Amino acid sequence: MSKLSTVILAFVSMIFCSWAEEPSPTQSPLDQKQGVLQEVWFNIAGNDVADLTRHEEYQKSPQHAKIVSKIDFTNLFVPKVFGQRFTTLIVPEKTGDYRFHLASDDASELWLSKNSSDKDMSCIAFVRGFTYHKGWFSQASQISEPIHLEAGKAYLLIILHKESGSPNHIALAWTGPDIEKPTIIPENVFHLPEILEKNKEGILKALATPAPASAEK
């Protein structure tokens, strides 16, 4: 072997070793800063949000989870019956009054906190039955009152969605400073909330569990 190829080999193995060492044992999908945690429970009957929240399975870890960038979905998990929850911290870039528009098939609820804590949450909008896809003005209850949000402050946001048969969809939009028409909330606003230690193991397992093949569209 020539001197040059020995040097190249040594260099390549150095790169390989540094790659191999990179992942740290503490790294997890939950360490990322941006995003929305989507948690799904399958095979729960009914088309009311309460059919999910009162179900004993809902007290347990989700069966499937994903970190998504925004809340804008159609035909998820067709044709399965499911309930899901989206959890994120919303950090607006501009201070002002915002209205949230929730659209879904089937029913859904939008909860917002006054801060990053789940102790100060209230239901600010909901869909009964269903709306058309991105039908932002179908029901008075799907539009929140104006809510004053401060730039750079984190507000905990949770959406509950119950689906009892295809088709299905869910989307979240807002109006606010310089946003006149309902616009899907952009991904840079969503920050992944810190997950309680007691819930971490179950969520990590759900993140690693694909949705049942028959449930994918």
Name the minimum Å distance from CB 87 to Ca ion.
Answer: 22
Comparison of 88 and 131: residue with beta carbon closer to Ca ion:
131
Name the minimum Å distance from CB 21 to Ca ion.
Answer: 48
Backbone angles phi, psi at 13, to 5 degrees: -70, -30
Contact set with Ca ion (CB under 5 A)? 105-106, 168
Comparison of 78 and 154: residue with beta carbon closer to Ca ion:
78
The per-residue b/e assignment along 25-64, b for 16 or more CB within 10 angstroms, e otherwise, is eeeeebeeeebbbbbbbbebebbbbebbeebeebeebbbb
Strand (E) or helix (H) holding 202 = helix 197-207
106 preceded by cis ω (within 30°)?
yes
90 and 190 in contact (C-beta within 8 Å)? yes
Comparison of 84 and 168: residue with beta carbon closer to Ca ion:
168
Name the minimum Å distance from CB 167 to Ca ion.
Answer: 6
Give the type of residue at 24: S
The rounded radius of gyration (Å) of the Cα atoms in the chain is: 21
Name the minimum Å distance from CB 51 to Ca ion.
Answer: 13
Name the minimum Å distance from CB 68 to Ca ion.
Answer: 20
Comparison of 74 and 141: residue with beta carbon closer to Ca ion:
74
Q: Kindly compute the dihedral angle of the four CA atoms of residues 174, 36, 214, 210, in this order, to the nearest 10 degrees.
A: 170
Comparison of 47 and 87: residue with beta carbon closer to Ca ion:
47
